[in-house]
Structure 1
Amino acid sequence: MRVLHTADFHAGRLLRGFDRTPEIHEALTEISELAKSERADAVLVSGDLFDTGNPSADAEAAVFDFFLRLRDAGIPAVAIAGNHDSAARLDSVAGLLGWIGIQMVAQPSANPVEMVRQVQTRGGELLTVGALPYLSERRLVKAADLLGGDTGAWRQKYREGMGFFLRRLGEGFKAGGVNMVMAHTTIDGAVPSGTEKNYQFDLTNHYTLSGLQLPAGAQYVALGHIHKPQQVSEAPFAAYPGSVIQLDFGEGGEKKQVNLIEVEAGRPARLTAIPLASGRELKTVRVDMDNVEARLEREKGFTGLLKVVVRAPSGTALPGLKDRVLRVTENCLAVELDAQQEDLALPDLKREGLSLIELYERYWKERRGELPQDLRAAFKEADDLAREGVEA
């Protein structure tokens, strides 16, 4: 059996206001062609189909076009929701996706066995997938309520709660077939790319699982959430394929891929990394203030997207710096200052001591530009209500 594993599309991603969706669409088209050329019996998508819970029409078109291409090729798929996805939104279209052979597991079930999906391949083999969508601490506590658990204890025992679901998923495995688990989570020892280091783990609850908690009967664990491709466990065999393009400058230089898994009942899985060619390369270039034009002239042949970090000595005047950069290179999305003294550092380059709303403003600026006032007010109101709840 040949299973193609991918994850972290992030359709709808904006980088400094620049829409990456066309590149993501191109990558998804490339993956659908690989699914055909590699004679995949099934495709697994381990979450973060979209970059936001309310994706644009173009983002939805890119993802649904991918699923339709799989349908046209007669290749079934199983997908789960990630932390960037709206679980409720994906759950609302799960029935429609089922009509074209895409089994979507967007939300946890009070009975985890209901999250086990089965795929009958064209060769007559049975693939069983225990599909665990992203569970934040809040969702896990809600699931614990459904199960009659002690929610106060579950808040302190994220691993035990996740372990419960994983054990129950393992109970749905079928003898004589291929058994896999799919999850959108972080496994101990996983190495994040610059993306996760800079923002993802700062602004969300960061909980991890031990590889020892993964069901021993799983022949492969198809993971999503970490954007850097890597294997994180030998027994059971678990791996992240990573994001499908370099999503931001923290991922600059990373080679993107999908994982082709070859496996048969009762035998260990084998992984082959298949590189992806889609998506513009991202690069960070560091230049000295007195050498901006000369250094950037060397990047004239670069067709990707640039972030330029200018090293400025003490007392340097900065007006017109961005214009200087853009006169040399039109494919620059960001210009930042790397001041040598703390009192010269730009406020948006600092992070220690920032409030939650200030962190949110910086997070939004990195992806979309200036934070709209209505969103700032809504975030502040939610933060105030949360603080009141904690104080109460």
Structure 2
Amino acid sequence: MRVLHTADFHAGRTLRGYDRTPEIRDALNEIVGLARSEKVDAVLVAGDLFDTVNPPADAEAAIFAFFLALRDAGIPSIVIAGNHDSASRLSGLSGLLGWVGVQVVAQPSHDPRQMIRTVETRSGEKLVVGALPYLSERRLVKAADVMGAEVGLWRQKYREGMKFFLGQLAAGFEAGAVNMLMLHATLDGAVASGSDRGMQFDLTNAYTVSPLQLPAAAQYVALGHVHKPQELGASPLACYSGSIIQLDFGEGGEKKQVNLVEVEAGRPAKVHPIPLVSGKELRTIRADLETLDARLSAVKGFDGLLKVVVRAPAGTALPGLKDRVLRQFPNALGVELEAVKDEATVQAASREGLSIEQLYERYHQERRGELPDALRRVFKETDTAVREAAGDGI
């Protein structure tokens, strides 16, 4: 069986006022082409189809065209809601999407069986997917309450609640079928892209899932939420496919991909990353005033999107700088000033709050190395004597 795993489309995304949806549409067309050429049996989309809960019409058109193209190719798909999606909106559309072969799991159900989706493939093999949409702590508490669990426990530990749902989904796996799990969540050990808004916080707080909590019976775990493609854990094999274009300058330089998963019932899955070429390359240029022209000349002919950061002394006014850059590079979406403090200011700030003894120790380290204990005692005694003499009015 061959399954294509993708996620994090973010249709409707704008970057500093620049609409990225045409690039996202191109990437979706590329993914449909790969699904055809690789003869996949199903496509898994692990959340964040849209960038906002109320996407513009062209973003919806791009997503629906993607699913219609998969329908025309005879390829079924399974989709979950991500944190950027409107779960209620996707839930309302699930009936219509079902007519074109899209199985949607947008919200948790009081009956875990409602979160199990199956596909009878052309080869006769059966694919079973436990599909868990994004669950914030608030939604997890509400879902646990509906299912009759002790709500107080969910409030205490997010991951214990997730463990409950994951266990319920694993109970729906079938012998003799290919069993997969799909969720939109943050796993411990995941590395965020610079553009994963709020993700750096998520990766260090309590609202994560341990790879050890993933059901061992899952042959593959299709993850969404983190935009950097990566593999986490081997038993079960869990992977983020990442976003499909460089969505933000924090993702500049990242190679985007989809994951082609080859698997058969009862055997470990094999993952083959397939690179995507759609979408403009994003690049950040950093320079000071003296090197700015040279740095810009070095990227002449670059047809992606630029952010230019100019380092200058704090308080410097640079009228006309943005116009100067845009004349050379109309594709520059941002021109920013990065204040650089002069050395004297930096040194003064570094001395702030230090005692005279600490200042002397720092001075000695910079000039002669580590301060000997004997010399420290002499300095301290001298300092004390001077202070006492000053107190006596001498």
If the TM-score is normalised by the length of the shorter chain, which range does it land in?
A: 0.7 to 0.9
Aligned residue identity for 1:303: D
Equivalent residue of 1:194, what SS? coil
Q: Is this contact kept in 2: 1:113–1:171, CA < 8 A? A: no
Task: Determine whether 1:72 maps to 2:77.
Answer: no
Q: Tell me the amino acid that sits aligned with residue 65 of structure 2.
A: D
1:303-327 C-alpha deviation (Å, 9 max, x unpaired) = 1000001010245222222112112
Equivalent residues in 2 for 1:208-357, closer than 5 Å? 208-341=208-341
Deviations 1:363-387 (Å, cap 9, x if unpaired)? xxxxxxxxxxxxxxxxxxxxxxxxx
Of 164-173 and 296-305, deviating more is 296-305
User: Which residue of 2 is the match for residue 91 of structure 1?
Assistant: 91
Q: CA deviation at 1:40?
A: 0.2
96 and 315 in structure 1: CA distance in 2 versus 1, 3 angstrom threshold? closer
Alpha-carbon distance, 1:113 to partner: 2.1
CA drift at 1:148:
2.4
Letter in 2 for 1:199: G
Letter of the aligned partner of 2:40 in structure 1? A
Distance in 1 between residues matched to 2:127 and 2:149, nearest whole Å: 31
> Match of 1:301, as an amino acid?
G
Pairwise CA RMSD: 1.5
* 1:134 match: 134
Which secondary structure state, in structure 2, belongs to the residue aligned with residue 318 of structure 1? coil
Closer, same or farther: CA 315–94 of 1 in aligned 2, 3 Å? closer
User: Is the contact between residue 154 and residue 161 of structure 2 (CA under 8 Å) also seen in structure 1?
Assistant: yes
1:105 to 2:105 alignment: yes
Residue correspondence of structure 1 range 89-238 to structure 2 within 5 A: 89-196=89-196, 199-202=198-201, 207-238=207-238
Tell me, in whole angstroms, the C-alpha distance in 2 between the residues paired with 1:206 and 1:36.
40
Alpha-carbon distance in 1 for matches of 2:281, 2:20 = 12
SS of the aligned residue for 2:335 comes to strand
> Aligned partners of 1:272 and 1:294: how far apart in 2?
40
**1:264 aligned partner, one-letter code:** E
CA distance in 1: counterparts of 2:103 and 2:145, whole angstroms: 26
Once the 2 structures are TM-superposed, how far is the Cα of residue 195 of structure 1 from its aligned partner? 1.1
The structural deviation recorded for 1:114 is: 1.4
Q: Tell me what 1:356 maps to.
A: none
The answer as to whether partners of 1:292 and 1:325 remain within 8 angstroms in 2 is: no
Q: In the TM superposition, what whole-angstrom CA distance separates every residue of 1:28-82 from its partner, at most 9, and x where no partner exists?
A: 0000010000000000000000000000100001111000000000000000000
**Which residue matches 1:30?**
30
Greater shift in the superposed pair: 318-327 or 95-104: 318-327
Higher-Rg member (1/2): 2
In structure 1, C-alpha distance between the alignment counterparts of 2:122 and 2:271, rounded to whole Å: 21
CA drift at 1:145: 1.6
Provide the residue aligned with 1:383 in structure 2: none
Deviation digits for residues 217-259 of structure 1, max 9, x if unmatched?
0000000000000001100010001000000000000000000
Aligned to 2:352: none
Q: 1:183-213: CA deviations, max 9, x gaps?
A: 00011001111112x5345599861100011
Query: How far apart are residue 291 of structure 1 and its match?
Result: 3.1
Corresponding letter in the other structure for 2:138: R
Query: How far, CA to CA, are the matches of 2:221 and 2:311 in structure 1?
Result: 44
Letter of the structure 1 residue corresponding to residue 311 of structure 2? R
CA distance in 2, matches of 1:155, 1:278: 42
CA drift at 1:104: 0.5
Q: Give the number of equivalent residue pairs.
A: 341
The TM-score with structure 1 as length reference comes to 0.85
- Inter-partner Cα distance in structure 2 for 1:315 and 1:134: 45
Contact 2:229–2:256 at 8 Å: present in 1 too?
Answer: yes
Q: Hey, what does 1:385 align to over in structure 2?
A: none
Unaligned runs of at least 5 residues, structure 2: 343-394
The amino acid of 2:252's aligned partner reads: G
CA distance in 1, matches of 2:156, 2:324: 52
Calculate percent identity across the aligned residue pairs: 69
